[in-house]
Every structure is written in structure tokens, then in C-alpha cells.
Structure 1
């Protein structure tokens, strides 16, 4: 049996399980479409400010907090602020909106239902709709997506947003081509399924929370990191890792480490019940073996059961940076996640476990010499 978890407000002074759940819910509820991640960034800035030695927002909109370490090489650790969302392509004379996706997603990923339209002057609610199921071939757009008729997968040209507003009202609200559209907050309530948590947009809010937790641990612990650590909360990851590219070009780091959700499928030999996923490659680059091996070792030393994976159809801030020649080394650490880019499920313990691995790695990124 599942149950919803109501947010009660995060207390940064008590980093326990309840506070973790509450902060995760706050992050999930915040809208953060690519290029408009302000609400999520504000939460992260609030949480990062007490633990970072210095904090700023760079010209690409990335939030960066540095924790000073020893004289070892510096590292950028990245999780992205943006979420899968939509962009208004055109406004029809009847006030309905046609959309194009921001990121790799299809209407079925989130289903038909309420959406939030982030106008320049007013935020409106709309409904992502296909049309009536009770139609015949005369309604070809609907008919061809029925499994027992046209049997064509539902795609963005098939759906529209009903706004209930005239074109003049939409114009007054600052809504037109280029306006961001997000899945409505009513569909973002975290649920508990036994020892697991489920919601849309664990990608990448669960990883963002792991970064915040790791930064707190580094700040409060007696052992500082081996080198300076730049915690980077990046923009525009879902549309090409644009923020990460800028950050890795600008920051003086020798390793780019991304923290992400990771797919759990037989194809990769990974499960949502297993330990942290350590990627050795993805669709864009081969990660540095020494980095991946060390992440595996650290996980085992903590009593976890890491899952090595060679990923396809997957990209990260770090792999884009490595492929673009913006970092000499790259690594990827993932929370095992069921149904990535859909209704995502993670183990409750996976966030603190991943934060512990990350913290231990940053304190000792290479094995100690005998």
C-alpha cells in the first residue's frame, strides 16, 4: 500500500530521514524547466549557503558553492536543476496551445492532465489533452493513436493544451511561442511504497539532494576534501548540458563528476534494490576507469553493493564535458532509479548512501599508497 507524504517544511539543523523527505518534496514541487530553473536554484542556494566557503551564480545560471580542501586536484561535482518540460510552439485562434518537448520525453511519460503555463506576467493552469476516446475515423488525429485502430504511438503533434482563455487573455499573461509549460504541482506529491519513494522528477532532484547532503557532510566533518570541491547545480542539462559545459570550461578542476538517476534494467544488470550505480561509459563518452574503479572501491568499503554499468541511450553533464574536451577526467555516480524519465521510484536509503559514497570519494579520490 502506498501513501502520500505531506511536506511540513525543512529544518536544515536536523539532517535526519524526515528532513530528507521533506526537502525532497520541496524540490520536487518547484518548477524548473530548462532555462528557467530559478525556483529550484533558490532552494539549493538556501541549503548550500551555510555549508559552502563561497557561493555564487555564474553567467550560465549555474549555482556554484566551493568547499576548500587540501592541495590535491580540484573536482566539479554536478547535479542538474532543470526538469523535463515543454515549450509553447504556437497559439491557436481558440486559445489552445501546441507544444514541443524540452528534453527527451513523450506525452505518455507524464500522461494527459493538468499543466502549469509559466507566462511572463501570469502563471496559468491548463490541461494537456488528446481529445475524446469516443470518436471514429473522422477524428483521424485521435483514431490513429488507438491501439486497436491506427496503433501509432502518441506524440506531441497529437496533443494540445486547453487553456480556457482567449488569445488576447493569453497575450496579456505573457504566454506565446517560447513559454515554458510544466507538469502541474498537483501531480508532484511524493509517495511512499514500503521502503521506496516515488514521484515524477527524481531526475534530478534526488541527486540534487544527495549533493546538498554531501556538502553538509564535508563542511561538518573533521576531514576536509583532498582538493577544492565545486558543487555545481547546473542549468539546461536536459537540452544538451549547456550549463555544465560552461562551468567546466570556467572552473579550475581536473575531474568532472556527475550525480544522476541511473536506469535499472536487465539490459544493464542493474536493479532498484541494489547499491549505487557506477557508470563506466554512456552514449557520449567512456568514463575514466580509475575514477569508476575508485567509486566502486569506496562503495564497497562503506558496506554497500555498487553496480557497475555500461549505459546506452544515456548522457550526463560529465560525459558532455569530457566529450567536448572541457575536462580531462570524468565520472558518473547514479541513484538506482526505476522508470527513468517517467514516474520514477528510488529506494529511500539510496540518497544518503550515495551522499556517503560521494563524500568519502572526495576526501580520498585515489587509493591510499601502502
Structure 2
């Protein structure tokens, strides 16, 4: 969780994943989109029915939009979220030559209508939702000092490492960026199970740790277009909400559709069947404001078939909570599905 991985700058997360993945698969490489790919040979090697399984490396973050004369930094989001999702507090500005800490702030609550930007966000006054126009980063540095660190418009800004501790409570764990670090962990766990238990997939499986998912599924679409196979399955966090009939303490969430595509029914049905066979109480879901590597690839014609397997997650794109058993459950479903596919 502590490793920074904003969209388009996933290098550090990719290095960690490569270290863990390399001993578990038959081949590894990094493609032109920056995706980390691990190939697991199937019982029947080669052929177009290979499966691509994706979990994305990138995290929700921010971009420096401009630097004011006093060293204040204005931001724009990189991915879909709002200041309230992250909360005010320390952020890391990933300069080319140095990473500097600043504080994401709104300003003083002890203000009146004269401070219009602050006033309009007060529930008992202006009653507007906190948005990026309202907040800024106090850096405590001059524009020249920021420039010397290589901080400029386009610099990535992340939630600071001091706020990224995994919290354990009861049967649950919470942190920022379960999206998609929890799914990455599940994919690595699946690779380890395949290797250590000799549970080869029926067909070749490409395990793809993708880039730039939060800004349009770019890495996943590239991998789906360039790798062999007819199916991509995205591993994701899945919203636990009454709207979808899903709960955080339930079994894996299986997507039947989202904002971009209808997932292939035979794939979704098979995932539900596998999860049910493992006694995991799968949760079928028709999702609304949601997208994945798989739905982007299906919508833009980069794959013939698409599936979605999710860890049920509370507070997606915020401080996210999952059950302790969600990661091993996802890994078990994936391994079992890959063994059964096309047999």
C-alpha cells in the first residue's frame, strides 16, 4: 500500500510485482504500454482461446495544474474521485528530482462569507460539495524551490505514505487503494497456487498487471489487443451497496454489466458456478457507475469476450474496506475457473 503508483508512473509498483511474479510463471516481460505480463502455460498450450487476466497497477491520484506565485499548488484529479474521498492532509508531490510533502487543505473553518471559496462548502451556509476548485496544496516552498525539485504542471501528486497504513479490525481490513492493490495480491496468490500445487490452467493464461486503468483502461486495452486470446477477465474491487444487492461480508461479486458493456453471460455464469462450487456465496451484480479493463477492452473491440470478478468492497474510491477472506476467495475462484475453461 505504501508504494506510489499514479497513472502513467507505475514503475515502483511494477518492480514489486515483478519481483513477486517472476518465480511463479513461465515467462515475464514488460510491454510497450508498461504492462507487466506473466505467462502461465496451459495444459493445452497456444491457441486463440488463451485467457488474459488483468489487475491494474495504477492508483487514483492528482496532477499539478499550476503553481501560484506564493508556492501554492492547484490540482486536478487523475481518475474519478473528489477531495472528500482522500480527505485533507499530507500529500506527496513526485518531482523529477525530489519527492516533497505538502498539505491538501481547504482553509480555515473559522471564516465568514467573505471567504467565499470556503464558505460555500459549509453545510449550514453555502452547502456545496467540496470539489477541486475549493482545495489547494500548501507547500511551504517558493516556486523556485518547487522547480528545483522538478515539480511543475503535470507532476503526479499522491496521498502521502503516512496515510497509507493497512488497518485491521475484526474480520476486515481497510486502507486507501485496495483498488487495485488487493486484486493484485489476489492475482499473485493465484499464480503461487498454480505453481506450488501444480494446478495448470486448461489453456495458456496471461497474467497482466496493467497501467492507466483509472484513466480509461489504456494498458488493459493494449494488452487485450496485442496478446493471444479471446477473453479478458478483470480483477477489481466491487461496490458493496444496496443499489446492487451486494454486501462487504458476502462472496465474490460477479459483474454482468457495467457502464461500458454487458459482460458475456456464459463467462459470468461460469464464474458464479465456480464460486458457488467453492461455497463462497457469489454475488451477481449489474453495476452502474463502474468500468474495468475488461469492459474498456470489450467496448473498444480489443477482445471478443469479457468477464469481471470483484472483491466486495466498502467505500470504493475512498478509504476502502474488504473482508480478510476476500483476497484468497478471489484467487481460488480464478484458479478453479482457469482450470475448467474450455474443457
Measured against the shorter chain, the TM-score band is over 0.9
The residue number in structure 2 matching 1:6 is none
Alignment of 1:95-244 (within 5 A): 95-244=71-220
CA displacement, residues 148-190 of structure 1 (integer Å, 9 cap, x when unaligned): 1110111001100011111111110000100000000111111
**d(CA) in 2 for partners of 1:347, 1:130:** 33
- Cα shift at 1:55: 0.3
The residue number in structure 2 matching 1:49 is 22
TM-score, length basis structure 2: 0.98
- Cα shift at 1:223: 3.1
1:290 correspondence with 2:263: no
Candidates 37, 51, 58, aligned match of 2:10: 37
**d(CA) in 2 for partners of 1:184, 1:118:** 10
SS of 1:39's equivalent?
helix
- Cα shift at 1:323: 0.5
Question: Contact 2:199–2:335 at 8 Å: present in 1 too?
Answer: no
Candidates 300, 314, 329, aligned match of 1:338: 314
- Cα shift at 1:304: 1.2
**d(CA) in 2 for partners of 1:296, 1:227:** 20
The residue number in structure 2 matching 1:279 is 255
The residue number in structure 1 matching 2:33 is 60
- Cα shift at 1:300: 1.1
- Cα shift at 1:220: 2.0
- Cα shift at 1:245: 1.0
**d(CA) in 2 for partners of 1:165, 1:348:** 42
Candidates 286, 289, 307, aligned match of 1:313: 289
**d(CA) in 1 for partners of 2:309, 2:243:** 18
**d(CA) in 2 for partners of 1:70, 1:248:** 22
SS of 2:243's equivalent?
coil
**d(CA) in 2 for partners of 1:220, 1:172:** 49
Question: Contact 2:193–2:199 at 8 Å: present in 1 too?
Answer: no
Stretch moving more, 219-228 or 250-259: 219-228
- Cα shift at 1:60: 0.5
Ranges in structure 2 where 5+ consecutive residues have no aligned partner:
none
**d(CA) in 1 for partners of 2:341, 2:76:** 42
**d(CA) in 1 for partners of 2:23, 2:43:** 20
TM-score, length basis structure 1: 0.91
The residue number in structure 1 matching 2:305 is 329
Candidates 42, 53, 60, aligned match of 1:84: 60
SS of 1:322's equivalent?
helix
Question: Contact 2:294–2:306 at 8 Å: present in 1 too?
Answer: yes
SS of 1:217's equivalent?
helix
SS of 2:24's equivalent?
coil
CA displacement, residues 247-273 of structure 1 (integer Å, 9 cap, x when unaligned): 111001110000000000011000001
| Number of aligned positions between the proteins | 340
**d(CA) in 2 for partners of 1:89, 1:247:** 30
